[in-house]
């Protein structure tokens, strides 16, 4: 944007200089020639200003995109608060946090794959396989307990 702005400022300076030249011209031929040159400079200046408008619009879009990303990161940080990397008895690594659910303290496990992508996805038990859980988002399966312990 600095380059486009500098170009517009140079074109503006040249335009002002040409206007001064016109005011000091001695003949109609000089006025006409300088006026023609002034029209060209004004056209270029208009083009530069339009280019600046495009740059400003593009930067506004980038700012909106970055603000959305910052909000996304803040939201993830708020939702991920209290979760720590946990090594389960099965050897599986997940992010866990103890929470009270229905007046009972339970460990909530998050999918580590989704966690690295800033997605909070609570692992859910796999039906009829008590030692396995799956991630509803990425569909990965995780062994939560050792098979031998449950037998
Ligand atoms: Zn997942």
CA of 142 to the centre of ligand 1 (A): 10
Backbone conformation region of residue 66, classed left if phi is above 0, alpha if psi is from -120 to 50, else beta: alpha
CA of 126 to the centre of ligand 1 (A): 14
pLDDT along the chain (151 residues), means of 10: 81 90 91 93 90 92 97 96 95 95 95 96 89 94 75 40
Residue boundaries of the structural domains of the chain: 2-77, 84-150
CA of 100 to the centre of ligand 1 (A): 23
As a whole number of Å, the CA-based R_g of the chain is 33
pLDDT number for residue 9: 87
Phi, psi for residue 130 in degrees, rounded to 5? -60, -25
pLDDT number for residue 151: 40
Distance CA 19, CA 37 (A): 10
pLDDT number for residue 148: 58
For 9, the 3-state DSSP assignment is helix
């Amino acid at each position: 944007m600095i380059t486009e702005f500098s170009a517009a400022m140079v074109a503006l300076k040249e335009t002002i200089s040409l206007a001064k030249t016109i005011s000091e011209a001695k003949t109609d031929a000089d006025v006409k020639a300088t006026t023609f040159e002034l029209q060209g400079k004004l056209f270029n200046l208009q083009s530069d200003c339009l280019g600046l408008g495009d740059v400003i619009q593009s930067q506004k879009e980038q700012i909106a995109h970055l603000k959305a990303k910052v909000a996304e990161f803040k939201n993830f940080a708020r939702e991920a608060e209290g979760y720590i990397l946990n090594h389960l008895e099965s050897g599986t690594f997940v992010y866990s946090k103890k929470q009270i659910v229905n007046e009972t303290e339970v460990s909530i496990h998050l999918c580590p794959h989704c966690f690295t992508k800033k997605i909070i996805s609570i692992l859910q038990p796999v039906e009829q396989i008590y030692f396995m859980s799956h991630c509803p988002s990425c569909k990965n399966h995780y062994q939560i307990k050792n098979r031998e312990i449950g037998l």
